[in-house]
A and B are shown apart, each in its own frame.
Chain A
Amino acid sequence: MPLLEFSREGDAATSLIRLVNVTKKFGDINALDHINLSIDDGEYLCILGQTGAGKTTLLRIIAGLLEPDEGEIYIDGKVVNGIPPEKRNAVYMFQQFALFPHMDVWRNVSFGPVIQDWDEDRIKNVTFEILEMVRLAERRDAFPNELSGGMQQRVALARGIASGARILLLDEPLGALDARLRVDLRTQLRKLVKDQGLTAVHVTHDQEESLMIADRVVVLRNGRIEQIGTPHEVYSKPQSIFVTSFVGGASFIEGTVAKVDDSGSIIEIRGGLRTCVSDRSKKNGEKVVIAIRLEDVSVGTTSKDGANNFPGVVETAMFIGGSIEYEVRLENDVLASSRILLSDAFRAYKAGERVVISFHPENCYLFSYPKVGLLKEIEAI
């Protein structure tokens, strides 16, 4: 099996869910603006965006909890506009799950199978298997109020999976969990969905979560799809400054194209300094933004061959579980960031130390300078 290539273009033949020109307005706000999207049978799709991007609206429209103002939703080839949620073969899981308080874990999870009248052995096997998967088999006799928030959430997840619906619509399913537990459960959630042959649409604002869990990621911004692709595509070939910033982050440096030749482009940045980038897509004299991933910037005391080298002073050094993140103020006052795995760090540098940052021309993304200004494209707060 080839590595990192989960690419499966949604085509009509295999798509289980299809949205055509779906638009939804709340007052003057375009919550969703002509969304076109195909989701394959068996696919794990993440919808990634900031608060207010329209992600939950999109999920609720697929579920049938909201009707679009325009556009059609197809499930299994049939238009489902106007069809109530319970008849869409999809189960919507809220951020705050409502379990039956008077039922123990076992009865909560087996609720769907029981009312669907499955035979007893099958109910028993499926319920047990799913409880094992969410690591709650030992707590099968507990009532919801005896469980931690994280456990309750996993019970609800188990119940959703056991319901027999083919489509799981997950609204921040890991959002209420402790950070450490959330990371642990990512891979399990994906495995659960894949093992059961389900199709999942998972809404999150956590870019790392989406990259680790999804077959494809939809980056949503102000009600529009900004980019759609495999995690690798979205991260390695971001099509806009916004996606670069929102998925993974980067240092952004403004400049002007000074020269384009066979080997790449020379960009003049602040203070008359020059940067080489491999990208040759921009024209001479064009105002541009260079973006460099934090992992692609190394910090040292000497220059590196074949790389862009800029001396500067460490402004902040932060230790972040397994990595060190530096902000380095270059001599032209530009602030560049670097992230280095602890194990790859030759030594740690302190704030105030003089260093040289290096990055390869191949690792620079080049974008046209945005009309609205750079800050507007990358601000999160």
Chain B
Amino acid sequence: MPEVRLVNVTKRYGKIVANDNVSFTIKDGEYVSIIGPSGCGKTTLIKNIAGIIKPDGGEIYIGGQLVTDLPIEDRGIGYVFQNIALFPHMTVWGNVTYGPRVRGWSLEETRPLAIEMLEMIKLGARSEAYPSELSGGTQQKTAVARALVSRAELLLLDEPLGALDVKVRTELRHELRRLVKDLKLTALHVTHDQEEAMSISDRVIVMKRGRIVEAGAPMDLYSQPMNIFTANFVGEANFLTGTITQISDEGALVEIGDSLQLMINSRDKRIGDRVVIAFRPEFASIGDSRIMNRLPGNLMDILYSGRIIRLKVKLANGDPIVVKKVLSFERPTFTIGDKLTITISPKNILVYNYPENLNTELALE
């Protein structure tokens, strides 16, 4: 029922265009996240959909109905903010049943809904607790229950996990997605955390400077991003620049600096084209003899994070790149200063036309 459709939505703040002709559709039952650097317009967009602000241009449809001029309470949505906004003087039960109460629903009507919601979030036993007695994560779950108790079918989440500890945040991702899927809701989730968006959503929309840069399933966005900004924003990536010097049946040869060469699969390039190539640090390997793409370099630093290590390597042309590996019980035998050969298979190399301004493309803010 609650398909969401935006047509050319525009919102300006003075000279700044926060949303610039944004159009997209969220299918019924879909979990969609919007990510982008701060100031990209993602929060403005979700507020437009909620009816908290009104767009300067364009239309918003929810479930096929034009809602651009409808107030928030008539849009059939549940809205959850980053700053947990529970009523401190009300119990969990009081908070969750607040919406139906002010709408004048009877207790008989409200009770089963509230009980069901509290069961869904496994808080049935804490219904008499006050917010101050609950952890941040539990408070935010209560806020979600409150947003949904009035039978809202569209859940709008504005950085819902942003105020929580990382560990709690990671665990609540699973619960939030499960809740949305079990209740067959449609969800739109705004976050600055690309990892959160990837793990929770069916589809991710990437925004920058008020516009949609790209949208797709998480794995596609990560593996085959269509542009440099997305490649950089949705995960760690190594970027190198070079020029196409040879084209053959196997692919094209990119010359990087004076001394490095890489084979790429891309066939639509021409000799002399300037390109940016990118690869994910986990797809690079050290001295894999089966791979012909070889980049000599020096180990500059080793960054350790649990079982994951990142090797920072300075290539022969001076560019730094990162190689990411999992160490199980063996310890690495590298030493800083070691000469290493980085290998990367052509199929794992992304290729882009050299942009007007590479720094702007790579800027995260």
> Do A and B interact with each other, yes or no?
yes
Question: A residues near B, CB below 8 A?
Answer: 1-4, 50-51, 148-151, 178-181, 183-184, 187, 205-208, 211-212, 231-232, 235, 246-249, 293, 295-296, 316, 318-323, 325, 341-344, 360, 362-363, 380-381
CA distance A145 to B39 in the complex (A): 13
Other-chain contact of A295, B222, B283, B307 (Cβ < 8 Å): B307
Whether B305 and A380, one on each chain, are in contact in the complex, defined by CB atoms closer than 8 angstroms, is no
CA distance A273 to B130 in the complex (A): 43
Number of interface residues of B (CB under 8 A): 57
CA distance A249 to B174 in the complex (A): 15
Residues A296 and B280 in contact in the complex (CB < 8 Å), given A3-B335, A321-B195: no
Q: Which 9 A-B pairs have CB atoms at the shortest separation, nearest pair first?
A: A381-B137, A295-B307, A179-B193, A178-B192, A205-B165, A343-B282, A380-B167, A321-B235, A211-B305
Residues of chain B in range 303-338 having any CB-CB distance to chain A below 8 Å:
303-308, 324-326, 328-329, 331-336
CA distance A320 to B201 in the complex (A): 11
List 11 extra interface pairs beyond A51-B135, A148-B37, A320-B195, CB under 8 A: A50-B168, A51-B165, A150-B38, A179-B195, A235-B306, A321-B236, A322-B235, A325-B199, A342-B283, A380-B165, A381-B172
Whether A183 and B236, one on each chain, are in contact in the complex, defined by CB atoms closer than 8 angstroms, is yes
Other-chain contact of A180, B138, B194, B219, B326 (Cβ < 8 Å): B194
Other-chain contact of A318, B199, B282, B307, B324 (Cβ < 8 Å): B199
Whether A295 and B329, one on each chain, are in contact in the complex, defined by CB atoms closer than 8 angstroms, is no
CA distance A207 to B348 in the complex (A): 30
CA distance A284 to B218 in the complex (A): 47
Query: Shortest Cβ distance from B146 into chain A, in angstroms?
Result: 17
> With a CB–CB cut-off of 8 A, which chain B residues contact A231?
304-305
Q: Is B34 an interface residue (CB 8 A)?
A: no
Whether A207 and B167, one on each chain, are in contact in the complex, defined by CB atoms closer than 8 angstroms, is yes
Other-chain contact of A50, B167, B194, B301, B324 (Cβ < 8 Å): B167
CA distance A184 to B303 in the complex (A): 12
> With a CB–CB cut-off of 8 A, which chain B residues contact A341?
282, 324-326
Query: Shortest Cβ distance from A337 into chain B, in angstroms?
Result: 11
CA distance A341 to B192 in the complex (A): 23
Residues A212 and B364 in contact in the complex (CB < 8 Å), given A180-B194, A207-B167, A246-B167: no
Q: With CB as the reference atom, state the residue of chain B lying closest to A234.
A: B306
CA distance A212 to B236 in the complex (A): 15
Residues A363 and B192 in contact in the complex (CB < 8 Å), given A321-B235, A380-B168: no
> With a CB–CB cut-off of 8 A, which chain B residues contact A206?
166
Residues A322 and B328 in contact in the complex (CB < 8 Å), given A180-B364, A181-B365, A205-B165: no
Q: Is B182 an interface residue (CB 8 A)?
A: no
Whether B282 and A342, one on each chain, are in contact in the complex, defined by CB atoms closer than 8 angstroms, is yes
> With a CB–CB cut-off of 8 A, which chain B residues contact A3?
302, 331-336
Residues of chain B in range 135-176 having any CB-CB distance to chain A below 8 Å:
135-138, 141, 165-168, 171-172, 174
The residue among B198, B285, B348 with the most chain A CB atoms within 10 A of its own CB is B198
